[in-house]
Amino acid sequence: MAPMSLHSLPPSERTFATGVVLALAAALGWGLIVVFARELRPVSPTQVPPLRSRLVAVLEGVMAGNVSPAETERFRAWAAAGATREGFAQVEAVVANNCASCHGQGGQFPRLARFEDVRPLALEAAPEGLLGLLDARTLHLIAFPLIFLLAIGAYLRRTAWPRRRLLMGGCAMAVLFDAGQWWLRQGRPEAIWAAWTALAALAVAMATLVTVVLNELRKPKET
Ligand code: HEC
């Protein structure tokens, strides 16, 4: 059975639907700000190293089997000293010998071959607590698609707008591009255009969706 169209909803449900679609848009907006503010922040050469580096956390956690404690210590010292290019020599051999076999070009994500690949991880704070659950990858790959799926499934699909399928396709492309750009950019600072494009695509797709849905909800009920 086709879902009841937005057009024939009683007023109380229209109000509810308006609230939900605005809440979804706000959730997406919040996520975009959180994620892209962090990702687009330029890594300056004097950036203060975090108290607990993500790289070190990973080496003590899931990747512990690939390094000796002494090698982890070397990474820790390098990260704490600002993960500089000059200091990279002290960990370069470990990266080449212990990591590159799996994390080399075309291998396991993230790519860890060059200084430029390893430095951002060393300077990124290890995710903790709730924010750890909501880290960038979770937002890009799970939360953003979910928000669009809900907004499309619950509302856009039920509008009478003739171009809604086109817009659904546009939303899907924006979400897919966002997932793709994230992988595309790893260790490639010059690919930052992809992040801006994804941010703009997601924002435009959601703004259009909300406009279409609200427009439909505010139309007088047909009799
Ligand atoms: C035997 C293959 C292998 C080797 C060697 C290896 N890794 Fe990994 N690494 C993986 C796999 C598989 C994953 C993804 C699965 C996971 O996260 O547990 C991963 C994930 C990671 C991640 C992402 C995890 C996260 O939660 O952010 C980092 C960072 C990482 N490895 C760093 C390293 C470093 C640094 C080295 C070298 C000291 C290394 N790895 C050596 C296979 C390897």
Q: Which residues of 197-213 are buried (b: 16+ CB within 10 A; e: fewer)?
A: ebbebbbebbeebbebb
Q: Atom 34 in ligand 1: which residue has the minimum CA distance? A: 99
The first and second tokens of residue 185, run together, are: 């950019």
Determine the residue of 58, 124, 183 to mutate for testing ligand 1's pocket, defined as the one with the most ligand atoms within 8 A of the Cβ atom: 58
Only one residue has tokens 């982890």, namely: 72
In whole angstroms, what is the distance from residue 87 CA to residue 180 CA? 32
Contact between 167 and 208 under an 8 Å Cβ cutoff? The reply is yes
Six-digit token pair at 14? 């229209």
How much is the pLDDT for 187? 60
112 in contact with ligand 1, CB cutoff 6 A: yes
Does the beta carbon of 65 lie inside 6 Å of ligand 1? no
Q: How far apart are CA 172 and CA 193, in angstroms?
A: 20
Cα separation, 35 vs 33, whole angstroms: 6
Does the Cβ of 72 fall within 6 Å of ligand 1?
A: no
What's the rounded Cα separation, in Å, for the pair 173 and 198? 10
Q: What pLDDT score was predicted for residue 1?
A: 43
Amino acid at 29: G
What atom in ligand 1 is closest to the CA of residue 99?
37
Instruction: Determine the distance separating the centroid of ligand 1 and the alpha carbon of 59, expressed in angstroms.
Output: 8
In angstroms, the CA 155 to CA 184 distance is: 32
* Cα separation, 75 vs 134, whole angstroms: 25
Q: Are 193 and 40 in contact (CB under 8 A)?
A: no
Nearest CA to ligand 1 atom 23: 110
Rounded distance, CA 80 to CA 82, Å? 5
If you take atom 11 of ligand 1, which residue's CA is the nearest one?
Answer: 108
Residue 62 CA to ligand 1 centre (angstroms): 7
Calpha distance 187→116 (Å, rounded) = 6
> For residue 194, how far is its CA from the centre of ligand 1 (angstroms)?
24
The reported pLDDT for the residue numbered 2 is: 52
Per-residue pLDDT of the chain (223 residues; tens, 9 = 90+): 456 688 888 889 999 999 999 999 999 999 999 888 877 766 555 577 888 888 999 999 889 999 999 999 999 999 999 999 999 999 999 999 999 999 887 777 788 989 988 998 898 888 766 566 566 778 888 999 999 999 999 999 999 999 999 999 999 999 999 988 877 776 666 788 898 999 999 999 999 999 999 999 988 766 5
Is the CB of residue 111 below 6 angstroms from any atom belonging to ligand 1? no
- Asked whether 131 lines ligand 1 (CB < 6 A), one says no
Nearest-CA residue for ligand 1 atom 12 is: 108
The residue to mutate among 67, 68, 74, 102, having the most atoms of ligand 1 within 8 angstroms of its beta carbon, is 102
Contact 136, 35 (CB under 8 A): yes
